[in-house]
Chain A
């Protein structure tokens, strides 16, 4: 296989597979946060900021995948 073609396939696979984990994780965080907010509405503001921060941490593996595929494509 051509090196260029292999690079493109690698970048696509990297991003596609790397997006699975963060998606599942963020979905679980959102689901649990919604559950907690509906049980305890006066804590909603406090929970929302925590939810955003933990989502950003969960997202980091997806961002790593994005970085790797960008490096494969452009460097």
Chain B
């Protein structure tokens, strides 16, 4: 039975940086996407080719979803490249094991030259960190005081008039602190979801193929189809959830409701 390894295997080191097989396959996919994008861009016409139709459909779909989430088309256009790149990259990467022969190339005895990069936690964790930290930084740069005020809600205490309102303000303040924990939990859940799904597909395939000599041929086909489907769904879900997380943080400071307009020192902004 082929062994199951959680960390990616190091192929060689480039100075202090270890190059793993997951990185190599990610570079291959990135290169492929760039080449396809350039080809489609060069062949762009008013009467579209097939590839252009498919890409335009995807971009249009995400553009509509972003417009819904962010409120304005101007802001949607600003974040569309990031979200759609995430989707394209993950959708191609999750199907990497379907490309013939590539994942079967073996170097140094038992190390695969290419590996589905999303079954390595490093990639998904990096993407989740980029999403969450990026949205925090964008919101902080846009409105620093209001953004911090969303988490440390001191401004509520300046409006307290009765004991009951003090009690409610304490609860609101604690909820604001809990939001900080939920930001950290977003990183873990977003990355673990993609990683776990893709790795589970890989492990399932290895177990079924390694079960007996007879289960190598026809039996894995339904599971291959299932993992292709779940690969697309997970890429879509990752892009959609990072869209929701980003829009939640960014629109909270950009069009804040009237009660959040007060700065922490009690003056109305």
List residues of A whose CB falls within 8 A of some B CB.
Answer: 49, 52-53, 56-57, 59-60, 63-64, 66-67, 70-71, 74-75
* Given A63-B197, A66-B200, also A56-B192 (CB < 8 A): no
A64 and chain B: residue at smallest CB distance: B192
Which of B6, B196, B241 gathers the greatest number of chain A CB atoms within 10 Å? Answer: B196
Secondary structure of the B contact surface, majority rule: helix
Listed by A's residue number, 29 A-B pairs whose Cβ atoms lie within 8 Å are: A49-B236, A52-B233, A52-B236, A53-B237, A53-B240, A56-B193, A56-B233, A56-B234, A56-B237, A57-B241, A59-B193, A59-B197, A60-B192, A60-B193, A63-B192, A63-B193, A63-B196, A63-B197, A64-B196, A66-B199, A66-B200, A67-B192, A67-B196, A70-B203, A71-B6, A74-B4, A74-B5, A74-B6, A75-B6
Which parts of B237-259 form the interface with A (CB within 8 Å)? 237, 240-241
Give min CB distance, B143 to chain A, whole Å: 28
By a CB distance below 8 angstroms, the chain A residues around B5 are: 74
Other A-B contacts than A70-B199, A74-B5, 16 sampled, CB-CB below 8 A, are A49-B240, A52-B233, A52-B236, A56-B193, A56-B234, A60-B189, A60-B192, A63-B192, A63-B200, A64-B192, A64-B196, A66-B196, A66-B199, A67-B192, A67-B196, A70-B203
Q: Pick the contact of A53 from B4, B196, B199, B241 — CB < 8 Å? A: B241
Which parts of B171-204 form the interface with A (CB within 8 Å)? 189, 192-193, 195-197, 199-200, 203
Which parts of B211-234 form the interface with A (CB within 8 Å)? 233-234
- Could you tell me the distance between the alpha carbons of A70 and B240 in the complex, rounded to whole angstroms? 27
- Could you tell me the distance between the alpha carbons of A53 and B243 in the complex, rounded to whole angstroms? 12
- Could you tell me the distance between the alpha carbons of A56 and B196 in the complex, rounded to whole angstroms? 12
* Given A60-B189, A60-B193, A67-B192, also A52-B6 (CB < 8 A): no
Task: Indicate the size class of the contact surface on chain B.
Answer: 10 to 19
- Could you tell me the distance between the alpha carbons of A59 and B241 in the complex, rounded to whole angstroms? 14
- Could you tell me the distance between the alpha carbons of A57 and B193 in the complex, rounded to whole angstroms? 8
Chain B positions 146 through 174: 1 when the CB is less than 8 Å from some CB of chain A, otherwise 0: 00000000000000000000000000000
By a CB distance below 8 angstroms, the chain A residues around B193 are: 56, 59-60, 63
Give min CB distance, A28 to chain B, whole Å: 18
Task: Give the 6 A-B CB pairs with smallest separation, nearest first.
Answer: A63-B196, A56-B237, A66-B196, A60-B189, A74-B6, A60-B193
